[in-house]
Amino acid sequence: MGVMASLFIGVGRVLLSLRYRIRVQGLEDVAARGTGGILFLPNHPALIDPVIVAGTLYPRFRPASLADRDRIAGPGINWITRQFGVKALPDLAKYGESCRPEVERVIRECGEDLAAGRNLLLYPGGHLMRSRREDLGGNSAVETILAAAPGARVVLVRTRGLWGSRFSRAAGHSPDFVKVLLRQGLDILASFIFFCPRRDVTVEMIEPADFPRNEGREAMNRRMEAFFNEDAPPALHVPATPWEPGGRRVIPDPPQVRLQGDPGQASPVVREQVLAKLRDMSGKPGLGDGDQLARDLGMDSLMRLELQLWIEQEFGHHLGDPDSLVTVGDALLAASGHTLDTAGAPLKPVPSSWFRHMGLPAMVPEGATIPEVFLRQAARDPGRTVIADQASGVRTYRDIITSILALKPVLEAIEGPYVGIMLPSSVGAAVLYLAVLFAGKTPVMVNWTTGVRNMTHGLDLLDVRRVLTVGKVVERIQSQGMDLEALRDRLLLMEDVGASLTGGAKLKALLRAWVSWKPLRRARIPGTAVVLFTSGSENLPKAVPLTHANLLANVRDIAAEYRFLDGARFVGFLPPFHSFGLTGTVVLPLCCGFQAVYYPVPTDGTALARHIEAYRVTALVGTPTFLNGIVRVARTAQLESLGFVITGAEKCPEALFEAIHERWPGMVILEGYGITECSPVVAANREERRRHGTIGWCMPSVAHVLVDPDTGERAPAGSMGMLLVRGPSVFGGYLGFDGPSPFVEFEGHAWYRTGDLVREEDGMLAFAGRLKRFVKMGGEMVSLPAVEEALLARFQDPEADEASLAVEAREEGHAVELTLFTTRGLTREEANQAIREAGLSPIHNIRSVIPLPKIPVLGTGKTDYRALKSLL
């Protein structure tokens, strides 16, 4: 052991003694049998126990050990851990399948070191204990290492007394080691160093002669659990200082995070696909919903991760934590889109400043550009809180301006007129949108859900040189099976940008935010406020440029029509590449002066319900799919502050209306209709004038007319017609598009042709259907022709006169599933492989296949989709 390691051990023992009274049992018995070739296997009740256990084993045994790569990434702690030969492992839940080879390599190296006579400290659980009992499930690390080192000695290490400490998960969430350590240091100082209450900790070691090393993973894990969990004590709170009231006391274990719902309600198609996958992975033929993946199917953490990634790739539902997949039923729920019950993971406290400005009237100041309007709104009260999320906290207008001033020089240096932004709904996304505009660039909102091919097309179309994002978003996207290597050179990670900013630059931005905003008022703002993309039609997505006049016209219409915006608090979860997400939860709050709190995962209904309750949200903008996800899992009390729901992008189901009316009779649902090309709101119901099942009246600045889609003439009153619109919120045309114009001439004016069929009665519009073959899935447009094109390119015989396949959609409850009709005997797996290779995202995947002897066609030779629909 080196000098520095010895020094750290000595200092560490002294510091630990100020808070912990540590008693060690069995160490001498282990040492008496020798000090080499030992595999030490401890339980893991708290983040501090590796320090205690390692300090106990040094210098006599000097074991190597493993640690979470991110937890030891800081420059100080990284240097310290290197002194002790700690091997870094990536977090499987965070980084996904891409890190699997690295995990396997490190485990293999550990086995080789152990076989060579060196010692290893390995935590068989792989993560912090979630309750007072260690649950090893089907974890395979011990089995793998002992297979490589069959002669190694096995010593079990049981640490008691730390469950319930701030370093443990007894509070229901994973603690931050550095923050807790600093807090502990302050508590020790507040206790005058030597008077800090001490926690009794016992470290027990045994070398069992009967360890079942040759009986398989299941036997070894159950033997370790029996030792670790014998008379496991409850969580114990020990006061941080002598002055803390309440004394030592037992606290309850946190509730376990589980998926909510009835797996019996999974559709037959989803059930068969999930069970087939589990049978293939486990080799077990008969599976029940209650069978445990680890204990009954023998699936270790890597296999559960593989299952999680398969679910996300096949069904497009984000799960987050593979440890939440406990049973077969959980896998069925995850594949069906059910979310985690995260009630046990507390949100960070909402600062009181968030609630101080309730009731201020919403208004849109004068101004020709969004930055100009934003600055005038900010000048009303720079210290007013306006946006928030759990990662960034609550931000005032002055906070936002400080960030913009700090980022402006960096963004100005980016080549080209366009800068991409690839972020979910968040404070960071809102701030970056404004910062890019103030830097004289046009923000291009990147939609990663459409797949790499569509993303690359959009960026190439505009010659976007840099895309602003963060590492966690990139890792999350890649963990879902999407290879971003083609975009790697364009990605600019904001954590790297933040690290490159000097202290002087940050101080200068802070002072300017308090003294003078002249650099922002003098900024050269581009004429285009944003570029969004359509969802992709029969070919590739089209670039939609929206000017400041477009977006501000829509914002002013909304502000003039809805009084509930005064003092409103919105929850934003639609990503900013979604036109409703950008206008409704970024531009509208920042320019009108009401608040918005963001959450990045729109499918996590439980977390959204908790945000609504904690931040006292009064209004929500979202699609019925995401709204239903919230309503399905929310407790009644969680949504009591929510007075208004603005919903669009797809039809709101009758069952959702009834559920809301029954549980929250005072909640007002305002159905609307919007299009990306129209900034986006075209029509919506009003507070005092609303009718369920309609999309309401057009916005004040939007003119409309219904025409016969075949003749182009004005549709008779009361009949269905195709909607044409014009007005200041309508865009001027696609960028880099050489196809047919989206505008038509009618009665002396140019109108945007929506392609949507609508009925009108007394000025109120009702959506009737889409002229083109699109379906809404999770609020996103999915092009059926695009899916067909990918499959035909792969499987169609170029010499054949007739199509060999067609794709249609059918509704299964709240879900929409794609069905492939084919004459070629294709399997679903073959079809989805072709879809992935074509660069389309998992939302485009085929759910079922119907073989046909012939694809039906119309007299014109076109596929008869009505006939196919009748077969569903």
Cα 61 from chain centroid? 43
Written as one letter, the residue type at 153 is R
Is a pLDDT exceeding 50 seen at residue 838? yes
Q: What is the pLDDT of residues 165-182, one digit of tens each?
A: 999 988 877 788 888 988
Nearest to 650 by CA among 537, 564, 525, 775: 775
Burial of 718 (0-12, 13-18, 19+ CB in 10 A): exposed
Is a pLDDT exceeding 50 seen at residue 86? yes
Q: Which contacts (CB < 8 Å, 24+ apart) does range 456-462 have? A: 456/486, 456/487, 456/839, 457/540, 457/541, 458/533, 458/541, 458/543, 459/420, 459/487, 459/490, 461/543, 461/735, 461/736, 462/418, 462/531, 462/543, 462/735, 462/736
Mean pLDDT (whole number) for 410-425 = 97
Rounded Cα–Cα distance for residues 626 and 608 (Å): 10
Rounded Cα–Cα distance for residues 426 and 415 (Å): 25
Q: What is the pLDDT of residues 726-764, one digit of tens each?
A: 999 999 999 999 989 999 999 999 999 998 889 998 889
Is a pLDDT exceeding 80 seen at residue 477? yes
Predicted confidence at residue 138, as pLDDT, reads: 76
Rounded Cα–Cα distance for residues 723 and 765 (Å): 10
- Cβ 276 vs Cβ 848: under 8 Å: no
Report the 3 state secondary structure along 795-812.
Answer: HCCCCCCCCCEEEEEEEE
Cα 45 from chain centroid? 28
Predicted confidence at residue 619, as pLDDT, reads: 96
Predicted confidence at residue 308, as pLDDT, reads: 80
Mean pLDDT (whole number) for 370-387 = 96
Predicted confidence at residue 75, as pLDDT, reads: 61
Is a pLDDT exceeding 90 seen at residue 534? no
- Burial of 586-602, coded b for 16+ CB within 10 Å and e otherwise, reads bbbbbbbbbbbbbbbbb
Is a pLDDT exceeding 80 seen at residue 447? yes
Predicted confidence at residue 537, as pLDDT, reads: 41
Query: How many residues comprise the chain?
Result: 872
Predicted confidence at residue 261, as pLDDT, reads: 74
Phi, psi of 337 (to 5 degrees): 95, 10
Q: Which two tokens stand for residue 70?
A: 């991110």
Q: What is the pTM of this model?
A: 0.72
Q: Which two tokens stand for residue 218?
A: 């299941």
Contacts of 284 (CB under 8 A, 6+ apart): 278, 296, 297
Element of type H or E holding 121: strand 120-121
Q: What is the pLDDT of residues 659-712, one digit of tens each?
A: 899 999 999 999 999 999 999 999 999 988 898 889 999 999 999 999 998 788
Report the 3 state secondary structure along 383-438.
Answer: CCEEEEECCCEEEEHHHHHHHHHHHHHHHHCCCCCEEEECCCCCHHHHHHHHHHHH
Handedness of CA 431, 437, 441, 443 (dihedral sign): positive
User: Considering only 210-214, 253-257, 348-352, which range has the smallest mean pLDDT?
Assistant: 253-257
Nearest to 299 by CA among 268, 339, 269, 330: 330
Q: Which two tokens stand for residue 775?
A: 């379906």
Predicted confidence at residue 649, as pLDDT, reads: 72
Predicted confidence at residue 727, as pLDDT, reads: 98
Burial of 676 (0-12, 13-18, 19+ CB in 10 A): buried
Rounded Cα–Cα distance for residues 17 and 37 (Å): 30
Contacts of 460 (CB under 8 A, 6+ apart): none
Rounded Cα–Cα distance for residues 765 and 300 (Å): 55
- Strand partners for 749: 746
Nearest to 545 by CA among 534, 525, 533, 531: 531
Cα distances from 834 to residues 451, 456, 789, in angstroms, run 13, 18, 10
Within 10 Å of residue 820's Cβ, how many Cβ atoms?
25
Mean pLDDT (whole number) for 582-590 = 96
Q: Which two tokens stand for residue 859?
A: 């007299």
| Beta-strand pair 619-622/668-674 | unpaired
Rounded Cα–Cα distance for residues 342 and 130 (Å): 13
Q: Which two tokens stand for residue 362?
A: 């919403």
Nearest to 67 by CA among 55, 77, 57: 77
484 or 261, higher pLDDT: 484
CATH numbers and ranges of domains, the chain: 3-243 (3.40.1130.10), 258-341 (1.10.1200.10), 352-678 (3.40.50.12780), 774-870 (3.30.300.30)
The pLDDT > 90 percentage for the chain reads 50
Rounded Cα–Cα distance for residues 16 and 75 (Å): 22
* Sheet with 442-445, side-by-side order of all strands: 491-493, 467-469, 418-421, 442-445, 528-533, 543-547
Phi, psi of 393 (to 5 degrees): 80, -165
Contacts of 138 (CB under 8 A, 6+ apart): 217, 218, 221, 293, 294, 295, 297, 298, 299, 300, 301, 303
630 or 414, higher pLDDT: 414
Within 499-643, strands assigned E span 528-533, 543-547, 569-572, 595-598, 619-622
Predicted confidence at residue 714, as pLDDT, reads: 94
629 or 373, higher pLDDT: 373
Largest CA distance in the chain: 99
Mean pLDDT (whole number) for 762-769 = 84
| Upper half-sphere CA count for residue 417 (Cβ side, 13 Å) | 11
Burial of 713 (0-12, 13-18, 19+ CB in 10 A): exposed
Rounded Cα–Cα distance for residues 484 and 685 (Å): 41
Q: Which two tokens stand for residue 527?
A: 């004429």
The pLDDT > 70 percentage for the chain reads 90
Element of type H or E holding 834: helix 828-837
Confidence band of 593 (pLDDT split at 50, 70, 90)? very high
Rounded Cα–Cα distance for residues 247 and 240 (Å): 10
Predicted confidence at residue 800, as pLDDT, reads: 52
Cα distances from 670 to residues 132, 655, 865, in angstroms, run 47, 16, 33
Rounded Cα–Cα distance for residues 758 and 441 (Å): 38
Predicted confidence at residue 669, as pLDDT, reads: 95
Q: What is the pLDDT of residues 274-316, one digit of tens each?
A: 899 999 888 888 888 888 887 788 787 777 777 887 887 777 6
Written as one letter, the residue type at 59 is P
Predicted confidence at residue 320, as pLDDT, reads: 58
Predicted confidence at residue 492, as pLDDT, reads: 96
Rounded Cα–Cα distance for residues 455 and 458 (Å): 5
